[in-house]
Structure 1
Amino acid sequence: MKRCLSLFRGLAMARLLLLAAGMVSLAGTAGAQMAVRQFPPTVQRGMMVVTAPPAIAINGHAMRLSPGARIRGPNNMLLMSGALVGQRYAVNYLLEPQGLVREVWILSQAEVDALPKG
């Protein structure tokens, strides 16, 4: 009887190791694929420069970030406007009814290349 139990335990351990190896190998490929970001239909496009937060310039026009405005980087992580001072970015943005900029998405090079020309 001892031989049967040890054989069963060995097979169970082998199955467990194979399952773990399969999960580890698939985890790397899932993380490598970046999800395509979906933007609202009312989004506008432009080139943004943060001059002195909350003051920004989009396409050369002076604008302001709203209180609680969110700036998302190319990897969709939140960025602080103070860290972007003086840098120029291609962006998609949303305006509030009062004219303040509510949300900004800094576009990756692939997203910029995918934009229609014109």
Structure 2
Amino acid sequence: MNRCLKSARTLFFIAACACLVPAGMLFSSETLAQNQTQRGRVFPQKTQRGTMQFLALQEVSLDGATEPLTPGARVHNELNMLVLTSSLIGQTYTVNYLRDPMGVIREVWLLTPFETTLQPDGSLAPATGPTEKLYGG
């Protein structure tokens, strides 16, 4: 025997929750992550672009010049997951990087082929060549 009466508001709340749970599955984190990788990641404003070869744990060759990494340098792979620099030794990537106030590299993003066509800040790269060829004018 049920001793307490359920109000109409309570029944409406239960029914609304039952409808919203399946709707939440449409926006799963996997779908959102996939859409973000198709659009490209958002990088900080002062990000720079270069070709980086990992030489040692805290040492890289950036556009031909040997430079150190900060002791707590963070390297993000193409899926935006953190990777250890020891697993990248000997490999070369096109990267976006950020320097600390002392001028040492503190954060690195390994770029996807799509992201290399964008500017370091994430905007579209300007068209190369004369505009007459692009627009037929």
- TM exceeding 0.5: yes
Q: Report matched runs for 1:34-113 at 5 Å.
A: 34=36, 36-41=41-46, 43-113=47-117
In the alignment of these two chains, the number of paired residues is: 112
Q: Distance in 2 between matches of 1:46 and 1:36?
A: 17
In structure 2, the partner of 1:21 is 22
TM-score by length of structure 1 reads 0.72
Deviations 1:91-117 (A, max 9, x none): 111223444211111112211022336
State how far apart, in whole Å, the 1-side matches of 2:13 and 2:74 are.
50
Gaps of 5+ in 2: 1-11, 120-124, 129-137
The structure carrying a bigger helix percent of its residues is 1
Higher strand share: 1
Distance 2:83 2:73 in 1: 10
Q: Which runs of 5+ in 1 are unaligned?
A: 1-10
**TM-score normalised to the size of structure 2?**
0.64
SS in 2 for 1:39: coil
Q: How large is the Cα RMSD of the aligned pairs?
A: 3.0
Q: Identity of counterpart residues, as a percentage? A: 31
